[in-house]
Amino acid sequence: MGPTRSPLRRIAEFWRRGSAFVWLSAAALALSLLMITTLVGFIAVKGLGFFWPRALVQATTPEGPVLGEIAAFEPALGEEPAKVQFRVANRDLYGQDFRWFKAADLSARQEPAGAVLVERLENGAFIGFVEVLKQDGQRVAEGDAALAAARARLPEALDLQRGIRAIEKREVGSLNRDMEKLRLQRKALENRPGADTTALDAREAALHKAYDALQARLDGLRGRASALQLTLRTVDGQTKELPLSAVVRLVEPNRLGPLAKAGTYFSRLWEFVSGDPRESNTEGGIFPAIFGTVMMVLIMSVMVVPLGVVTALFLREYAKDGWLVRSVRVAVNNLAGVPSIVFGVFGLGFFVYTLGGAIDRAFYADRLPTPTYGTGGILWASLTLALLTVPVVVVATEEALGAVPRSQREASLALGATKWQTLWKVVLPGATPGILTGLILAMARGAGEVAPLMLTGVVKLAPAMPLDGEFPFFHLDRKFMHLGFHIYDVGFQSPNSEAAKPMVYMTALLLLGVVVLLNLVALRLRRRLRERLGGSAF
Amino acid sequence: MKPSPAQDAVLRRAKRVDRFMALLITLGGLGIISAVMGMLLFIGKEAFPLFRGARSEARPAFMAPGALLLDESGKAAAALSPSRGLELLRLPDGAAVRKVEGGPALPWTAVQPFGPRGGALVADGEGRLHGLQVKWSKPAGDPDPAHWDLEAAWSAPLPNPGPGARVLDFRMAEGGGLEGGLVLKAVAATPEGLVRAEAGPGQAEPTWQPFPSPGTITAAAWSQDGGQLSLGTAEGRLRTLDAATGGLLAETTFPEPVTALGWVLGGNALLVGGQRGSLAAYQLLRTGEQPVLQELHRFQPLDGPVRGFRHSLRDKRFLTWGDRDLAVDHLTTERRLLHAWAEGTVHGALSPRGDLLTATDAVGRTRAWSLDAPHPEVSLGALTGKVHYEGYDKPAYVWQSSGGTDDFEPKFSLVPLVFGTLKGTLYAMLFALPLAILGALYTSQFATPRLRNAIKPTVEIMAALPSVVLGFLAGLVMAPLFEKLAMEVLVFPAALLALAALAFPVWTRLPQRFRSLWGSGREVLWAGPLLGAAALLSLGAAPAFERAFLGGDYCHWLLSAQGVTFDQRNSLVVGFAMGFAVIPIIFTLSEDALSSVPKSLTSASLACGASPWQTAWRVVLPTASPGIFSAVMVGLGRAIGETMIVLMATGNTPVLDWSPFNGMRTLSANIAVEIPEAPHHGTLYRVLFLAAFLLFLLTFLLNTAAELVRQRLRRKYESF
């Protein structure tokens, strides 16, 4: 590094030694890491922030007064002026949930204390003010008193609503099923000429009577539910009558302290995790999707472990090591790289149409042409995913089998144990953490896959869960909902995807959380295993 | 020591269990493996019938009195003859079930046979022409043709066109207005020239009007809506006239005297048959200023003059018969589904489904064939080559599996889908390769061990990100953001380089101690802020750049200067999102390969005075290159088969365009979009299975190549 060197030589030397390239590769890595952290952070912030009650801002614009949550702010960019997006809600009155305004057009900004956000069963939220609470047409309270009265009587209205829904779902549903059974029996009888249908007729009449009675009860409940009416007013003076039983929650964000806001936050979060979806999945909860995902992954696990372990045992312990076994091993590993949609296509063609069709013809012929197993269902989806994830379990199990020290096997064999006894009592227990790692990785992979499910049984809205109180409790032929498909469907197939976006973020966060958690557990397990076994060469 | 009987029993049992388990596991293992391998076979088996040839079988011949109209079920036919009128026949023996009364008094002098929809023309004793429309009337659910009947509707008659006249074509339509009834139009060749007439309810006494057109007109065909009339002449001219005014719309030459004209389902393709057996399809193309008659397809010729055509009501197949033979061809693929010899055929008939055909000669001897051709619209040529579709001005690669109408011509070219797959993969790899390989190189060669232990699990977690989440972000967040910030993103690399060039001299002037403590192995921590600064700089610089060079709006500039439209969900967004999915795979596998390069090699290089980068670039990278190659193969496999990201982040339009600013449709996304709508074992279903088969094969081969390379590499390193 003598001072006599010309700058040109120094530059040439600098390029040759290449520390700039080290920096370049560091930048590449930093970019990758930055991207993933940004992505996960972005989803987390967008998803978790959604349930926090935000202030309702009122402002005057050239188009009249506006009241709503500030959903987005776009700073001035080039010639584009700064813009503010309001979530004005009131879809039934305005036709849209969101409106953009130029920031410069907004004046007289304030946060009115009485502004209220009403979460409704239908048409999304309402943002405005409570005017009057009426009971059977009589004014009970006005203004803030009406709000307080409505809040006080909301639990009662919610109970009523819940009761109505339970009847609709459970009792009417069970009547419908009986009706369907009756129809099938009648159909079976029709094929036999001269059969006696009087018993069936009597049962049908009884069912109809029960149905009418139920309907009368429902009408009574509905009448009670609509007795309490709330009159709401928007900021631009339109009024709206709403039965209190159609209200899910009343929030006055501008009056709430941080603690009360946190309460609302967790109440909303709980509704999201445990509730049923509303308004074609854009509101309410995603419980059926969580349940469907868990159920499918569990069924898949039950299938994939024996399949994978038996294959691995065969390849590692029983098959004679030759070119055939080697190539089979390569092929099984490579199945992990085959696109998931191909497995979906196979599942549709083989499980659904071929296997399911055969089952229908053999056991459910009376229901044809309505397919029972000959259409997508949770069983077929789980089987397809089990096939998809079998290589993961095979590879992990083989690795674990290979990592069990030779000395232990030899000790067992030397004591006179048979090969199977050695495998069962010595090798498999030693390999259990490895098998578990494989299973967890398979579960993570299975939980995140969507494409094959779209062909084998996932639906946007399942009428009934695959596990319920009706005999035989497990309904493996039923279609199910899934977190990943929920994201696709609500984000891309929904008519109101802008309003549903936060739901999608939250769902994505949940799915991401599950998958990442499973992977973290698997990684830790594997690392502990490797440390214990002294780092094998895998 | 001899074991006691009790011990002996235990031992024997243990041995039995051992043998049984060995058998069970071997059988189970083999079974599972063959089942998994059977996947490929099954998918192939589902796709294979696409390429099976059509099967046809001659059915027993019978006597039928005249022209036939075959029923959909193939169990009955309507027969129309001058001597016996309209009758319902039972098939396959052709026995008359019942006679249908009505219409002009028998005997008639001539009949013009049924069109595919059951319209016919009858000349009565005085030579007047009566239009006849026949409909099937079947009691619901009754499969016995003996109980079926025919409903016949008759139009008002047209006068006798005169001696020596020959009716070339007729057209029947339900009349509009209050009266309803049938409107009959006919065109006839007389010794004085072409004449035409029209009869219908509420119209004046019909007369034959001269409709002059040069040449000896030998064949005519009304268009489906009756607006145009196509004519063929003995001189080999083919022309289409405006039926109302008689004005010439388009004209072209045919290599032989035209003997027959007909239509394919949909009425877009005009079939032309010649004196020497030539067969071709033409279309009236209106894309230019002047409509032109353009040849669409040419089929294998018949052995002798072509006499007539009948088309199916289900797809684009049609029956042609001549003096000596007959054939069933498919329009789109030009496939010949059936060819048979039948001397002197006067009337041919094709069932609505196209699975049964008959040929009747002058004395009424009728021969019948059944035809089993479930997928005539697919051939290897149609899947991989350019096809001239109806309405297109030239042959093209098109994927469009379904349309709004029943007479839609399905277009099954896999080329746009394969192209889309390659395009998406290319953009993903362009983005992912440099980042992943450079990142792996840095992690394995330069990063401190602590940093490395933090980086690897993070990237492995990244590999587990569900692609539906990536797709959602790409489609709903990145795509709109990129549309707004496209310039900023494209300026970003330049901004980064500029900043780096500025930062370097500063860095090299920092004290050596500080640099070695905070620099070597920890560069990545500094790169973060640098990237942030570059992002800010590009945010500031891009609008200026856009104003200076692109006239202020890049979308506008793209369209006007480059002729490229900007789609919000474009290839760059897909490449970016798919890059996310591919980077961790390539990174992890490359990192494994790079860090398993023997220490002895790097030590030797460093001892000889090479800088760390020189060692990494010239020694480690070449040594590990097979491993990196295999990593790239695996990444490629993943990108090729990725479904959800492409489905959500592109518009899924099957275009053939490399432009980064528009979308694509890939094989995998296409399967996801279309297979839920594809009927089981239909053509679309099988074509999609073929696509899945291709995907399977492609990714399986890529992964196998990668695995073989990896194994070879592992053996090589073992020798160090």
Check B675 against A348: CB less than 8 A apart: yes
B499 or B70: which carries more pLDDT confidence?
B70
pLDDT, residue B370, reads 92
- The yes-or-no verdict on residue A104 having pLDDT over 60 is yes
With cut-offs at 50, 70 and 90, classify the pLDDT of residue B357: very high
User: CB-based contact (8 Å) between B455 and chain A?
Assistant: yes
User: Residue A210 is inside which H or E element, if any?
Assistant: helix A198-225
Q: How far is CA B533 from the centre of its chain?
A: 48
Tell me the mean pLDDT in the region B168-184: 76
Q: Which residues of A touch B609 (CB under 8 A)?
A: none
- The yes-or-no verdict on residue A376 having pLDDT over 70 is yes
Both structure tokens of B302: 């018949």
Q: Which residues of B touch A512 (CB under 8 A)?
A: 465-466, 469
User: CB-based contact (8 Å) between A100 and chain B?
Assistant: no
Sheet architecture: strand order including B317-322: B306-311, B317-322, B325-330, B336-341
pTM for the model stands at 0.87
Give me the residue from B14, B29, B46 closest to A311, CB to CB.
B29
Give me the residue from A28, A310, A345 closest to B29, CB to CB.
A310
Tens-place pLDDT, residues A40-58: 888 888 888 888 888 888 8
User: CB-based contact (8 Å) between B91 and chain A?
Assistant: no
Q: Which residues of A touch B652 (CB under 8 A)?
A: none
Closest by alpha carbon to B701, among B633, B655, B642? B633
Q: Which residues of B touch A368 (CB under 8 A)?
A: none
Nearest residue on chain B to A353, alpha-carbon basis:
B680
Contacts of A157 (CB under 8 A, 6+ apart): A225, A228, A243, A244, A245, A247
Question: Are A262 and A404 within 8 A, CB to CB?
Answer: no
Q: What are φ and ψ of residue B46, in 5° steps?
A: -70, -30
Contacts of B69 (CB under 8 A, 6+ apart): B77, B78, B79, B80, B114, B118, B120, B134, B349
Preferred mutation among B468, B620, B696 to probe A, highest tally of A CBs within 10 A: B468
Preferred mutation among B10, B37, B430, B438 to probe A, highest tally of A CBs within 10 A: B438
Contacts of A93 (CB under 8 A, 6+ apart): A234, A238, A240
User: CB-based contact (8 Å) between B446 and chain A?
Assistant: yes
Q: Which residues of A touch B680 (CB under 8 A)?
A: 353
Q: Alpha-carbon distance A380 to A448, whole Å?
A: 17
pLDDT, residue B440, reads 92
Q: Which residues of A touch B688 (CB under 8 A)?
A: 345
Nearest residue on chain A to B434, alpha-carbon basis:
A28
% chain A with pLDDT above 90: 9
- The yes-or-no verdict on residue A336 having pLDDT over 60 is yes
pLDDT, residue B427, reads 92
Tens-place pLDDT, residues B594-624: 988 888 889 999 899 888 888 888 889 888 8
Question: Are B704 and A331 within 8 A, CB to CB?
Answer: yes
Q: Is residue B411 packed enough to be buried (19+ CB in 10 Å), middle (13-18) or exposed (0-12)?
A: buried
B415 or A361: which carries more pLDDT confidence?
B415
User: CB-based contact (8 Å) between B688 and chain A?
Assistant: yes
Tens-place pLDDT, residues B131-149: 888 888 888 777 888 888 8
- The yes-or-no verdict on residue A4 having pLDDT over 60 is no
Closest by alpha carbon to A153, among A223, A261, A230? A230
User: CB-based contact (8 Å) between B46 and chain A?
Assistant: yes
Question: Which residues 311-340 on chain B approach chain A with CB closer than 8 angstroms?
Answer: none
Tell me the mean pLDDT in the region A413-418: 88
Chain mean pLDDT for chain B: 86
User: CB-based contact (8 Å) between B376 and chain A?
Assistant: no
User: CB-based contact (8 Å) between A39 and chain B?
Assistant: yes
- The yes-or-no verdict on residue A535 having pLDDT over 60 is no
Tell me the mean pLDDT in the region A443-465: 86
Both structure tokens of A505: 């973020």
Check B472 against A488: CB less than 8 A apart: yes
Q: Alpha-carbon distance B318 to A170, whole Å?
A: 56
Neighbouring C-alpha atoms within 13 Å toward the C-beta of B130: 22
Which ipTM score applies to this complex? 0.86
- The yes-or-no verdict on residue B429 having pLDDT over 90 is yes
Question: Are A351 and A300 within 8 A, CB to CB?
Answer: no
Both structure tokens of B533: 């600064």
Pairing relationship of beta strands B325-330 and B336-341 according to DSSP bridges: antiparallel
Cβ contacts below 8 Å, chain A against chain B, sum to 299
Tens-place pLDDT, residues A455-505: 998 888 877 777 776 667 777 788 889 999 999 988 887 777 777 788 889
Give me the residue from A18, A29, A39 closest to B442, CB to CB.
A29
Tens-place pLDDT, residues B650-705: 888 888 888 888 888 999 999 998 998 888 888 899 999 999 999 998 898 888 88
Contacts of B670 (CB under 8 A, 6+ apart): B399, B417, B652, B654, B688, B691
Nearest residue on chain B to A538, alpha-carbon basis:
B592
B351 or A171: which carries more pLDDT confidence?
B351
Is the C-alpha dihedral spanning A14, A17, A18, A23 positive or negative? negative
DSSP for B209-234 reads EE---SS-EEEEEE-TTSSEEEEEET
Question: Which residues 484-513 on chain B approach chain A with CB closer than 8 angstroms?
Answer: 484, 496, 500, 504
Contacts of B650 (CB under 8 A, 6+ apart): B424, B569, B570, B571, B573, B574, B663, B664, B665, B669
Check A516 against B523: CB less than 8 A apart: no
pLDDT, residue A5, reads 61
